[in-house]
Chain A
């Protein structure tokens, strides 16, 4: 595997379910991100991790819980979601967090989440 991978690619869940999204980057990067992509809206940054420490929680509801056990893996734990949470959830990584070359973000293919 190369680049940034995400599993599952599609997920349908009820509002009372608990599920997790997984992201893995094979690029040796130190920073990882979760974004939400909804139709006709700009990408929304949700969480940022640098060297496994969370550096950003962009006012995301507590029903979304991120976890970064190491610099290659990022999870998004989901519980008691709402139908409006249905979207494409994208993971990204970058070599460094910010500032000049090396901070470019590379995206995974996303998980298409549908909440019934």
Chain B
């Protein structure tokens, strides 16, 4: 079946450094790619998303890149802060359907 692979499963960075999380999807029809941040005791929060008609999108310290040919998309967090520590999930979806295929999550720890 369709799936999304997410790497790494855990990531530790020093405060101020950058963090990169990568996802690969299998369904070539996917054209919507959201990223969610889940803090302890909370539900996933949508932090940024990208549609297949663009290759990159940026919002302050976070950015997402998409390579449709390779079926890769990545989340980039610059100047990391302790409050960035959380589990991050990628997902792939298709216009015309509500079904997202989620990755297994990356636990990011930002060390002060």
Q: Determine whether the beta carbon of B43 is less than 8 Å from that of A109.
A: yes
Q: Determine whether the beta carbon of A98 is less than 8 Å from that of B36.
A: no
Which one of A14-22, A38-46, A70-78 is at the B interface? Answer: A38-46
Q: Given the complex, which residues of A lie within 8 Å of B103, measured CB to CB?
A: 42
Q: Determine whether the beta carbon of B43 is less than 8 Å from that of A42.
A: no
Q: Determine whether the beta carbon of A40 is less than 8 Å from that of B34.
A: no
The residue that B98 contacts in the complex, of A31, A106, A108, with Cβ under 8 A, is A31
Q: Determine whether the beta carbon of B46 is less than 8 Å from that of A43.
A: no
Size of B's binding interface in residues, CB under 8 A: 26
Size of A's binding interface in residues, CB under 8 A: 27
Q: Given the complex, which residues of B lie within 8 Å of A41, measured CB to CB?
A: 104
Q: Determine whether the beta carbon of B43 is less than 8 Å from that of A108.
A: yes
Q: Number of A-B pairs whose CB atoms are under 8 Å?
A: 57
The residue that B96 contacts in the complex, of A40, A98, A104, A105, with Cβ under 8 A, is A98
Q: Given the complex, which residues of A lie within 8 Å of B105, measured CB to CB?
A: 40
Q: Given the complex, which residues of A lie within 8 Å of B43, measured CB to CB?
A: 4, 6, 90, 92, 107-110
Chain B stretch 38-80: residues in CB contact (< 8 A) with chain A = 41-46, 49, 51
Q: Given the complex, which residues of B lie within 8 Å of A6, measured CB to CB?
A: 43
Q: Tell me if B88 is interfacial: C-beta within 8 Å of chain A.
A: no
B97: nearest chain-A partner, CB-CB: A98
**Minimum C-beta distance from B83 to chain A (A):** 18
Q: Determine whether the beta carbon of B98 is less than 8 Å from that of A97.
A: yes
| B interface footprint on A48-68 (CB within 8 Å = 1, 0 otherwise) | 100000011000000000000
Q: Given the complex, which residues of A lie within 8 Å of B51, measured CB to CB?
A: 100
Q: Determine whether the beta carbon of A105 is less than 8 Å from that of B100.
A: yes
Q: Tell me if A34 is interfacial: C-beta within 8 Å of chain B.
A: no
Q: Determine whether the beta carbon of B95 is less than 8 Å from that of A100.
A: yes
- 8 examples of A-B residue contacts, CB within 8 angstroms: A6-B43, A42-B3, A42-B103, A42-B104, A45-B100, A97-B98, A98-B95, A99-B95
* Residues of chain B at the chain A interface (Cβ within 8 Å): 3-4, 32, 34, 36, 41-46, 49, 51, 89, 93, 95-105
* Residues of chain A at the chain B interface (Cβ within 8 Å): 4, 6, 31, 33, 40-43, 45, 48, 55-56, 90, 92, 94, 97-100, 103-110
